[in-house]
Structure 1
Amino acid sequence: MNKKITNKMIKFFYGIEGLLDEYKKTQLDKFGNIAFIITWWYLLISGFVAMLLYVNNPKIAAIFLIAGNLLISALALFSIIYFLRKKKLDIVEVDKRAYPEKKKKYFRKSIGLAVYFGVAIHILNAISDAVIQNENFWTSISSVSNICTAVFEGIAFGVCMYIVYLLRLKK
């Protein structure tokens, strides 16, 4: 794979802006290797345990895998956040003159993320209503209460992302 594309994917996944220097790349490679090893062992052990549980009760095996995967995903997310903060890899350094412009950029980016999140959640809620509760998709998607909920969730997500972006800025 092209090195430029790989660097862009790494920067996007970890939320790193600016230059991906050798120190950051080394630290991310180290963390990625550790995370891969832990995840590999988890998959190996959880698959074996699920297979043992499946013999007696397939429903418990499915619940075990789903709950375990959600828990491991949450732990991975929080460990990535902790690692990036500890090593200060996600800090964006700007001079005082460029600070207001960077805040505006983050504000616009947060609005875009809020709209994207609100629309995605609204569509996913309508799909889940149609699948789980056997409601009509178009009735669910045009429901005023569902639209209001999606708007509120989008705004809340946008505000949270803006706060996260501001916490990463360093004058």
Structure 2
Amino acid sequence: MRRDKAILAAGLLAGAGLAAATHLIGLGWVTSLSVLLASAVLVRGGTYLYFERYLAFKTLEDFRSEKIFHECIACGACCHLRVNLGKDDAERILTYAKESGINEVVIEKSGSRLWLKRNSGRCCFLTYAGETPRCQIYPIRPVACRLYPLIP
């Protein structure tokens, strides 16, 4: 956390220093304010990009090492999202579908991305046992489903 605050403070100081330098070399207040605004936008964008990538990686790394974990409560919430599939997910699901005798289309392609097929706004593998939602591919479910709700 200390490192994160230091990066943010350094970015803010750099922006303020740049604005002060433009004023001191005689470019005037309007120019220095526009430089300050532009540098603030760049620093903020860069800082958010850094934190987004750093924290996402850290969360996934912690999840994989079981520092962070989520236990499925069979609520079916993840089954109503559009699930993006990695190559490994797609191969695993297609193999399972063949072995299970599922002859319908279960994976859709859109551009270069693969998605789990949806029926009426829900995953094609979602079934119900009474009122309880059940995933037909739970043991081999995609990474996106495993990470829900940590990474929706």
TM-score (norm 1): 0.36
Comparing both chains, which one has the higher relative contact order based on Cα–Cα distances under 8 Å and sequence gaps of 6 or more? 1
Higher Cα Rg, which structure: 2
Structure showing the higher strand proportion among its residues: 2
Structure showing the higher helix proportion among its residues: 1
